[in-house]
Amino acid sequence: MAQSAVLGFPRIGPKREVKKALEAYWGGKIAVEELLKVSKEQRLLTYETLKSQGVDVIPTGTFSLYDHVLDTSNTFNIIPSKYAKAGLNNLDTYFAMARGHQKGDVDLPATEMQKWFDSNYHFLVPEVSQSTKFALNDTKFVDDFVEAKQAGYNARPVLTGPITLLALSKIDSESKDAEFDPVTLVSKLAPVYGELLTKLAAAGADWVQIDEPILCMDRAADYADAFKSTYETLAKAAPNVKILLATYFGRLESNVDFVKDLPVAGLHIDLDRAPEQIDTVVPHFANKTTTLSLGVVSGRNIWKTDLNDALKTVQKAVKILGGDEKRVQVATSSSLLHTPITLKNENKLSAEVLDWFSFATEKANEVATLTAALRDPSSAAEILSTNEKSIKARRDFEKNSDPAVRQRLAAIKPEDLKRKSPFSVRRPLQDKHLNLPLFPTTTIGSFPQTKEIRAYRARFNKGEITQQEYEKFLEDEIKFVVEKQESLDLDVLVHGEPERNDMVQYFGELLDGFVFTQNAWVQSFGSRYVRPPVVVSDVSRPKPMTVRWSSYAQSLTKKTMKGMLTGPVTILNWSFPRADIPKEIQAKQIALALRDEVNDLEKAGIRSIQEDEPAIREGLPLRAAEHKAYLDWAVASFRLSTSGVSDETQIVSHFCYSDFANKQIMQSILDLDADMISIENSKSDAKILRVFQNFEYENDIGPGVYDIHSPRVPSAEEMFNRLKAFTAYLPVERLWCNPDCGLKTRTWDEAAAQCKNMVEAAKRARTELAKK
């Protein structure tokens, strides 16, 4: 009999219980026992939620206090020596790697974060060396399984696979060998994975899900032999454990040629992102006994599944497998980590709109419904009929379009994507009115979103204060931020963004074509959650969005005030996009709306306009053959939005977690033709420096000199040394001094201390590095 399965579930809690507990613990307001109590409650609630929706196979080990990759690193003793030798307890060491630790004599930075494949989820990058001693350092995965099993759930432990883990790792900065491929260490790591499987088997685990999404990338072909030897090791270590090898976010392509022969009992494939795999992968298993887990319910979007269409896909797979339903699991395409928890928390959306959506809990029910329909079509006939009507209603709505938006899109000309003059002409014109020193200091946009700001916003949204009262509060807050920056002697100022709930949500709420939720939170990293807007129709700008606040801020100072915008690709990639039209069209619609905003900012006297594009990298398709097409329209969208200004206006952009070592990504960033870019740099060791050995970059650049995701306050000396390192590759007159990212998540004490040291580092650079 076919089974239903979910690969993973959001771990934040329906009302963000985990976030609240984490931040209370970090703030010293609750003891570790309370944090662990809340964690257990949320794990058990997840198991019960999935069971109540009819899911047969329930994942364990997917709950995390910060990041599942960090959990895996910690489990296998992948802990850089500076953390291991710091004398901290296990939990404090874990959080030190996640967010830094600066207490007493211990001063540790956070480890590097990167994006989890093409998602907006950030993982902590493991650091390995030839001397890394892999060993079982933690029993989390066993403990979580035992907890679920004792509570009566049919549990399946989930592990990040050893080859994916190493493929995503970087070489420890203390390593003497900076050139080796971390995957070559898998022969040392695999036996320790085998030990863990043995312990899980002893605890009663029948199946174990091992996630290897790296198999959906081209580079996996280079690891064919490593996969073969690794999974042979695992099979021998725990012969009674059935391994489900999980691939997702893309297609196996030719990697199926070696995957089909691996000694695993099951294979999961993503039929949402890659529906063609029903024909290119499933037939390879027709004459085998391998169980196939079919990812037909999307783990990456919030749209209701077309159950009738998905059922046909599953039935086709069963037919290819000779009619043997027992060999099939109906599953989500990936973990549901990337979706909100439940529609039950939404009571302000119209019934029409609500009927379009399916969040994690509802997706679990879709998986169960499809499984029931596969077993006995008549048992789910009514649900399938209702679903068919819902899908038709959405399709009918999608046929509507805004003629003005479509006509404007069709009228785009090549010259709309180009600035009036090259940078060599623009730079002296901008220098004249900006009048900045060497190593000019600035921040990336946001300043702390204090409890007071959030409280006033909540009161305004509830109608407890008038718009006039709310705007007066925002003006006072902006005035405070401007005065604070002037007292710190920053060179180019920002207004601090107190009016913004989120850098994407804020714009989506002011653009036509989006809808918003109340509680559809999705984890970005650690305790940082976002509520992605949803694109439902053609996008346009009914009125200016930021001009009022930037103009007010500029009126308070004689220094340059940056206008702050989020770029079209980031707005799209950090939203749930439409499924009925290409993302390129959606991005360019957003770009045209932003073009109007950029032009209006310039008319209002704002001479430096920053349009952030941190999400360009995460939208990059997993397969190289698709990179160029994506990057072409991503670059075109940015240029469309920013090219309408005069040469005198400085266009700035910001990038973080963007994999600058990727030549295509770096070239695309250069192709944006921004006058200045700021980049996340502080946790990248010398990786970004090496990039500039191979690229001639003539425009201005601000390498981040400190990590804003950590409460740690680096010394001015540390920041100065980061600046100094860049002077070996770039002219001093092109270098700026700024943080890695915005300061929204910091306290004012932290932000002020960090900025004070940054300004001190820049002033020292002007004295000591000016002649370089």
| pLDDT tens figures, 646-694 | 999 999 999 876 666 677 888 888 899 999 999 888 777 666 777 776 7
pLDDT at 771: 67
User: pLDDT band at residue 196, thresholds of 50, 70 and 90?
Assistant: very high
Domain identity same for 306 and 451: no
Q: How far apart are CA 766 and CA 279, in angstroms?
A: 62
Decide if 772 is inside a domain.
no
pLDDT at 121: 96
What sign results for the dihedral spanned by CA atoms 228, 231, 236, 242? negative
pLDDT at 663: 77
Decide if 275 is inside a domain.
yes
* Six token digits for residue 275: 């529906």
pLDDT at 552: 98
* 68 in a known ligand binding site: no
Q: How far apart are CA 285 and CA 277, in angstroms?
A: 12
Domain identity same for 445 and 520: yes
Domain identity same for 442 and 304: no
Residue where a domain stops, chosen among 377, 398, 419? 398
Domain identity same for 394 and 407: no
Decide if 619 is inside a domain.
yes
pLDDT at 658: 64
Give mean pLDDT, residues 151-167.
97
Domain identity same for 365 and 429: no
Which pTM value belongs to this model? 0.94
Domain identity same for 424 and 357: no
Percent of the chain with pLDDT over 70: 98
Give mean pLDDT, residues 85-97.
96
Is 747 a residue whose pLDDT tops 60?
A: yes
CA proximity to 157, closest of 78, 218, 75, 77 = 75
Residue where a domain stops, chosen among 364, 398, 432? 398
Domain identity same for 394 and 408: no
| Sequence letter at residue 584 | E
Which residues on neighbouring strands pair with residue 244, listed in sequence order? 209, 266
* 204 in a known ligand binding site: no
Decide if 327 is inside a domain.
yes
Note the residue count of the chain: 772
pLDDT at 660: 67
Which residues on neighbouring strands pair with residue 207, listed in sequence order? 242
Decide if 50 is inside a domain.
yes
Is 336 a residue whose pLDDT tops 60?
A: yes
Which residues on neighbouring strands pair with residue 5, listed in sequence order? 57, 331
Domain identity same for 364 and 445: no
* 497 in a known ligand binding site: yes
Other CB atoms within 10 Å distance of the CB of residue 710: 25
| Each residue's pLDDT tens digit, 356-384 | 999 999 999 999 999 999 999 899 999 99
Residue with tokens 């008038």: 466
CATH of the domain at 295: 3.20.20.210
User: pLDDT band at residue 176, thresholds of 50, 70 and 90?
Assistant: low
Give mean pLDDT, residues 710-718.
93
| Each residue's pLDDT tens digit, 230-266 | 999 999 999 999 999 999 999 999 999 999 999 999 9
Q: How far apart are CA 579 and CA 534, in angstroms?
A: 11
Give mean pLDDT, residues 703-726.
92
Is 486 a residue whose pLDDT tops 60?
A: yes
* 654 in a known ligand binding site: yes
* Six token digits for residue 628: 């160029």
* 92 in a known ligand binding site: no
Domain count, the chain: 2
Helix (H) or strand (E) holding 514, with range, is: strand 512-515
Active site residue 709: yes
User: What's CA 437's distance to the chain center, in Å?
Assistant: 35
- Residue 472 belongs to what domain range? 403-687+695-767
Rounded to the nearest 10°, the torsion over CA 259, 262, 267, 273 is: -20
Residue where a domain stops, chosen among 378, 398, 418? 398
Least confident of 219-223, 252-256, 364-368, 430-434: 430-434
Using CA atoms, how far residue 492 sits from 498, 691, 704, in Å, is 18, 27, 15
Decide if 571 is inside a domain.
yes
* 574 in a known ligand binding site: yes
340 phi and psi, to 5 degrees?
Answer: -65, 165
Is 772 a residue whose pLDDT tops 60?
A: no
Give mean pLDDT, residues 287-296.
97
Out of 101, 268, 338, 709, pick the active-site residue: 709
User: pLDDT band at residue 696, thresholds of 50, 70 and 90?
Assistant: confident
* Six token digits for residue 440: 């000019």
* 445 in a known ligand binding site: yes
Q: Where are the beta strands (DSSP E) in 11-128?
A: 58-60, 101-103, 106-108, 113-115, 122-124, 127-128
| DSSP-assigned letters across all residues of 523-568 | EEETTEEE---EEEEEEE-SS-SSHHHHHHHHHT-SSEEEEEEE-H
Q: How far apart are CA 326 and CA 318, in angstroms?
A: 9
463 phi and psi, to 5 degrees?
Answer: 80, 15
Give mean pLDDT, residues 158-184.
89
